[in-house]
Amino acid sequence: MSDPAERPDEERPGFELRKLSRISPREYLIRFAFGAVVSAVAAIVTLAFGPRLGGLFLAFPAILPATLTLLEKKEGLPQAASDIRGATIGSIGMLGFAILAAALLARNAGLGLAAALAGWMIVSFALYSALRLLAAAVGERQYLPEIPTVEAEPVIAALRGREATLALAESCTGGTIAALLTNVPGAGEVIRGGFVTWTDEAKARCLGIDPAIIAEHGAVSPEVAREMALGARRALGADIGMAITGVEGRPNDGRPPGLTYICVTGADGRNWVHRHSHDHGAGRNRERDVRMALRHLHQTLTSMEQRHDRPG
């Protein structure tokens, strides 16, 4: 199992009261409308087939449709589509479980529960396999990760707070990090620019990396990530340099998919290199890499602030 910190969707659970004021009346209406409709349907099922089946139906799907309608706004359309497929499979499997449980539990509790569980597993696996085969047959499209701009705002705020500038060097993410950061208002004050050095030749020519280093360690290595960050900072005259190099899809140059190195370098010459290696699939690897790059960059800037503010 991978480290939870490097999973693509690693938002920690929490509660922030001030965020309730940001939810629009329309979003509240969506939530309550779906809940009301499902409650009404559950009542009809209860009247027609009894409280056991109606209660099972009401127990789990009420929040699901409302949640799925709001996923696109936060995670982006591709991620929402993927989540909807998974949630649909789970919902149909749970309906199968509920129907079998309602039919068999009264006759034999142990056998009914076992049969309902087996039915849920069989239905869910069959639907999942069918969707996978369908996606392979029709050639499912690959999307860039859609990450909300709000996730990049802490980095820009930290840079502005330190009055520091940033230079970027991206390889596997293809400029996605720079695009996200520069979409934040005020980014022009702190972002000097960035390089997309997809090939080894571009790394050497644009960032001034010695080709011998790439030949010895490979393009996806902590050594090259460090040289990329230093080269970007030096070329653009920035205070902070950040670089990322990795393998998003198929294995490359002996490196497995999902292997990524992220380096942040400061004006004092110190470097912070982070390694991630779990393979989530090409699209999710890039999503993970962009999010982890933002996280590592923000953490580094915050630690710099704390050391700078420390007395003595």
What is the reported pLDDT for 11? 42
pLDDT surpasses 50 at 87 = yes
What single DSSP character describes residue 144?
-
CB under 8 Å to 30, separation ≥6 — which residues? 66, 69, 70
What is the reported pLDDT for 312? 42
Taking the alpha carbons at both ends of the chain, their separation in whole angstroms is: 43
pLDDT surpasses 50 at 100 = yes
What is the reported pLDDT for 1? 39
Q: Lowest mean pLDDT: which of 54-68, 89-103, 211-225, 277-291?
A: 54-68
Q: With residue 274 as reference, give the H or E element that holds it.
A: strand 271-276
In whole angstroms, what is the distance from residue 139 CA to residue 127 CA?
18
Confidence of residue 232 (pLDDT cuts 50, 70, 90): very high
User: What is the second-level CATH architecture of the domain 149-309?
Assistant: Alpha-Beta Complex (3.90)
- Are the CB atoms for 174 and 198 separated by under 8 Å? yes
Q: Which two tokens stand for residue 195?
A: 């390089």
Distance from chain centroid for Cα 102: 38
Q: pLDDT digits over 61-80, tens only?
A: 545 555 555 554 555 555 55
Q: 174-199: string of b/e by CB count within 10 Å (b at 16+)?
A: eebbbbbbbebeebeebbbebbebee
pLDDT surpasses 90 at 168 = yes
In whole angstroms, what is the distance from residue 22 CA to residue 29 CA?
14
CB under 8 Å to 179, separation ≥6 — which residues? none
pLDDT surpasses 80 at 186 = yes
Secondary structure class of 48 (helix, strand, coil): helix
- Are the CB atoms for 149 and 183 separated by under 8 Å? yes
Q: Lowest mean pLDDT: which of 79-88, 90-99, 225-234?
A: 79-88
In whole angstroms, what is the distance from residue 161 CA to residue 124 CA?
50
In whole angstroms, what is the distance from residue 290 CA to residue 280 CA?
13
Domain extents in the chain: 4-138, 149-309
pTM tops 0.85? no
Q: Lowest mean pLDDT: which of 115-124, 152-161, 226-235?
A: 115-124
